Amino acid sequence: MNGLKALATTATLLLAATNVVHAGATLDGIKKNGFIKCGVSDGLPGFSSADEKGNYQGIDVDICRAVAAAVFGDATKVKYTPLTAKERLTALQSGEIDVLSRNTTWTSSRDSAQGMNFTGVTYYDGQGFLVNKKLGVKSAKALDGATVCVQAGTTTELNLSDYFRANKMKLTPISYDKSDESAKSLEAGRCDVLTSDQSQLYAQRIKLAKPDDYIVLPEVISKEPLGPVVRHGDDDWFDIVKWTLFVMVNAEELGITSKNVEEMKKSTNPDIKRMLGVEGDRGKDFGLANDWMAMVIKQVGNYGEIFDRNVGKGSPLKIERGLNALWTQGGLQYAPPVR
Amino acid sequence: MTEFRVPHPDLPPPASTIGALGWMRRNLFSSPSNIALTALAAYLLWIALPPLLNWTVFKATWSGDTREACQANSGACWVFIRVHFDQFLYGFYPEAQRWRVNLAVLLLILGAAPLFTQIITNAAKVKLGLSLLVGYPIIAFILFKGGLFGLPDIETSRWGGLFLTLVIAGVGMTAALPLGVLLALGRRSKMPAIQTLCITFIEFWRGIPLITVLFMSSVMLPLFLPEGMNFDKLLRALIGVTLFQSAYMAEVVRGGLQAIPKGQIEAAAALGLGYWKAMALIVLPQALKLVIPGIVNTFIALFKDTSLVLIIGLFDLMNIVHNATTNPEWLGFSTEGYVFAAAVYWLFCFSMSRYSQSLEKRLHTGHKR
């Protein structure tokens, strides 16, 4: 496997090197094709999954739609490519997709050696704990001696043992290969706690017979910022994807929603006027239609809307905003201004 | 006076040796160890059957359209299967175009039906079989893919479900058998170049797991191609599966070839038949008949191996079921989904196995011991 990895890295580097030569190729290709090739996951509740009619939905999918709305003024001009965790980076490196929007954690190695550019953070995730309310535990610090169900062979196991060791607590881990099995074990009482990325814990909770009997503890023991990724070599394209996300966050901050975007165009607030393309040429700076930001909000919505619709209050997952609230409301979602 | 001895009319056999009772005595309670085993089996059924039936039938939910309909009952939620049923069959193939898949399946059934009956002669069967083998894939491809004759183009990434499973298995089987026969003949060839080539090919493909082949084709191959040049994921999987299975098939066929006595080939040569004619008319018909169980075994393995394409992100039956379990509206019904998938796989594999048995019976010429 190491040889394979070395081979892949060499090939990646070669590709990264050749990519620099024809900058702007990605955006040119997209405009020629007339659609965006977007890599999504092969099924992750709330992030990207296909419904019974075969339509993709989720936060990651909405990012693809927003970028399509930005470039073409039409959110439907996306071709989705479902990718497994192993093939996602290759697909991006080889040009099979233009943007990868697939719950990928932003790390230094991916951002540098693997020739990727992360365009921002769509979801601040982190490893957390799901427990039965009966235990009466309010904090992960009180989990001394607990039996913990954990997914085998992931960094989750490492994070877990590190956290317990750092807090001088005793731990009995039980490893499972499949997330379904670990949910069933928690239900049957074989373990006291289930640990996974928080976004997953909410999905696991729905699978339980009585979801309301379980709570996700407030502690987050690892940083997993998830965001869309593009490959090195096309800065114009990088800017567009990056700012599509910023526009959605700014829109929420300014109170612009998909419903009121037309009325907002009449607003007297210069920030809003600039963003919606009523005043100035901020849209044209990107080489796109001047009102592309308005199109993104109108067709897909602001950040709060897509969060609620896919994983938040308006969805079966019911995830709290938490770290993903706006910076003005105690969260981390912050976007540079449009001006 | 002559006394005729009237024999007593035949008594019926003792009640304990006939009927259900007799069968049970013979098969279930014939010895102490047998009695113990019967009791154990009965006990296992007693503890396993009621919960199983309760889950699958009595406490299951059959009607409704939403997740909420299933909350009331503790058994299986078959609504989940019903809601996703079309998706399990066709994947993401656009609804309005699904008639094309149905039509192609219908054409195949109509075209192939005479092959499985006795209404046409064997010579006609060969002709029909060959024309199907050549013609049908073209027709099916045009129907599935479109882009011609005003049919909208449907990309292979939208193919899925049972349909995709059957496409991969069908292509794999029909391509691997002829290729396997050629490789087997090549491996027994007296020409060193051909022999070495075939041995290398077979040993290479048999030496690596299918999962590696698929993984390489989807993760490594794109890195070596020039940027922007992609060839179809499904095509990559099909080529991988075919080459892989043909190596296995070659060894199965070679087993059959080795069972044919040398005298057969010499007799064919004495009749003035060349290599190909001797093989096609004398050796292969006998050899292939001998290895029907092996061939079908390989086919069944291939059919189940198609589910491995999920690691390269193709939505075959297995993966589309998995995808449905990640639909936020329908979380928590993976058991129902996988039970359904298992039932479908079993149905297909069992039919293949039964067909092979009937084929063996039909071709039976008294050589078996």
**Min Cα–Cα distance to chain A from B136, Å:** 28
Range of the domain at B126: 94-153
Q: Are residues B237 and B355 located together in one domain of the fold?
A: yes
**Min Cα–Cα distance to chain A from B98, Å:** 13
What's the gap between Cα A69 and its chain centre? 18
Q: Are residues B127 and B256 located together in one domain of the fold?
A: no
Q: Which CATH topology does A127-216 take?
A: D-Maltodextrin-Binding Protein; domain 2 (3.40.190)
- pTM for this structure? 0.79
C-beta atoms of B331 and A43 within 8 A = no
Question: Among residues 213-252 of chain B, which lie with CB inside 8 Å of chain A?
Answer: 215, 218-220, 222-225, 227-228, 230
Does A13 have pLDDT greater than 60? no
Whether residue B85 is contained in a domain is answered as: yes
Residues of B whose CB is below 8 A from A94: 222-223, 225, 227, 230
pLDDT at residue number A154: 63
**Listed range (A258-267, A309-318, A319-328, B23-32) with the worst mean pLDDT:** B23-32
C-beta atoms of B331 and A15 within 8 A = no
Whether residue B111 is contained in a domain is answered as: yes
Strand order across the beta sheet in which A146-151 lies: A171-176, A146-151, A193-197, A127-132, A214-216
CA–CA–CA angle A66, A71, A75 (5° rounding): 40
The more confident residue out of B238 and A208 is B238
Q: Are residues B327 and B179 located together in one domain of the fold?
A: yes
Tell me how crowded residue B139 is: count the other CB atoms within 10 A of its CB. Answer: 15
C-beta atoms of B328 and A315 within 8 A = yes
Q: Are residues B208 and B326 located together in one domain of the fold?
A: yes
Does A122 have pLDDT greater than 90? yes
Whether residue B51 is contained in a domain is answered as: no
For A163-176, how does the pLDDT look when each residue is reduced to its tens digit (9 = 90+)? Answer: 888 888 888 888 87
Q: Are residues B331 and B347 located together in one domain of the fold?
A: yes
Side-chain half-sphere exposure of B150, counting CA atoms within 13 A: 0
CATH of the domain at B83: 1.10.3720.10
Same-fold call for A2-124+224-329 versus A127-216: yes
Q: Are residues B355 and B323 located together in one domain of the fold?
A: yes
Ordered by start, the domain boundaries in chain A are: 2-124+224-329, 127-216
Q: Are residues B104 and B134 located together in one domain of the fold?
A: yes
Whether residue B181 is contained in a domain is answered as: yes
- pLDDT, mean of residues A114-125: 90
C-beta atoms of A206 and B331 within 8 A = yes
The answer to whether the beta carbons of residues A329 and A316 sit under 8 Å apart is no
B54 CB within 8 Å of a chain A CB: no
**Min Cα–Cα distance to chain B from A99, Å:** 14
CA A54/CA B87 separation, integer angstroms:
7
Q: From the first residue on, what is the mean pLDDT of each consecutive set of 10 residues in chain B (369 residues)?
A: 80 79 82 90 92 84 78 80 85 82 84 76 79 81 78 79 89 89 90 91 90 82 68 84 91 91 89 88 87 88 87 84 82 84 92 86 70
Does A66 have pLDDT greater than 90? yes
Which candidate, B295, B293, B321, B317, places its Cα nearest to that of B306? B317
Q: Are residues B86 and B138 located together in one domain of the fold?
A: no
C-beta atoms of B328 and A180 within 8 A = no
The more confident residue out of B130 and A122 is A122
Whether residue B20 is contained in a domain is answered as: no
pLDDT at residue number B369: 54
CA A281/CA B117 separation, integer angstroms:
75
C-beta atoms of B220 and A51 within 8 A = no
Number of Cβ pairs closer than 8 Å across A and B?
112
Choosing from B119, B153, B187, the residue where a domain stops is B153
Whether residue B15 is contained in a domain is answered as: no
Tokens matching residue A121: 């953070």
Q: Answer yes or no: is the ipTM higher than 0.90.
A: no
Whether residue B203 is contained in a domain is answered as: yes
- pLDDT, mean of residues A18-24: 47
The more confident residue out of A38 and A157 is A38
pLDDT at residue number A5: 52
- pLDDT, mean of residues A279-294: 87
Residues of B whose CB is below 8 A from A25: 227
Look up residue A259 and give its amino acid.
K
Nearest chain B alpha carbon to A87: B219
CA–CA–CA angle B79, B83, B88 (5° rounding): 115
Q: What is the 3-state secondary structure (H, E, C) of chain A?
A: CHHHHHHHHHHHHHHHHHHHHCCCHHHHHHHHHCCEEEEEECCECCCEEECCCCCEECHHHHHHHHHHHHHHCCCCCEEEEEECCCCHHHHHHCCCCCEEEEEEECCHHHHCCCCEEECCCCEEECEEEEEEHHHCCCCHHHCCCEEEEEECCCHHHHHHHHHHHHCCCCEEEEEECCHHHHHHHHHHCCCCEEEEEHHHHHHHHHHCCCHHHEEECCCCCCCEEEEEEEECCCHHHHHHHHHHHHHHHHHHHHCCCCCCHHHHCCCCCHHHHHHCCCCCCCCHHHCCCCCHHHHHHHHCCCHHHHHHHHCCCCCCCCCCCHHHCEHHHCCCECCCCCC
Q: Are residues B87 and B112 located together in one domain of the fold?
A: no
Does A149 have pLDDT greater than 60? yes
B70 CB within 8 Å of a chain A CB: no
Does A186 have pLDDT greater than 90? no
Residues of A whose CB is below 8 A from B335: 180
Look up residue A15 and give its amino acid.
L
Does A151 have pLDDT greater than 80? no
Tokens matching residue B318: 């297995």
Does A222 have pLDDT greater than 90? no
Residues of B whose CB is below 8 A from A4: 220
Q: Are residues B198 and B242 located together in one domain of the fold?
A: yes
The domain tally of chain B equals 2
What pairing do the DSSP bridges indicate for beta strands A99-105 and A36-41? parallel
Strand partners for A301: none
Nearest chain B alpha carbon to A14: B223
**Homologous superfamily of A2-124+224-329:** Periplasmic binding protein-like II (3.40.190.10)
Q: Are residues B143 and B256 located together in one domain of the fold?
A: no
Whether residue B239 is contained in a domain is answered as: yes
The percentage of residues in chain A with a pLDDT greater than 70, rounded to a whole number, is 91
Q: Are residues B296 and B350 located together in one domain of the fold?
A: yes
Look up residue A244 and give its amino acid.
T
Residues of A whose CB is below 8 A from B222: 90-91, 93-94, 96
B55 CB within 8 Å of a chain A CB: no
pLDDT at residue number B366: 66
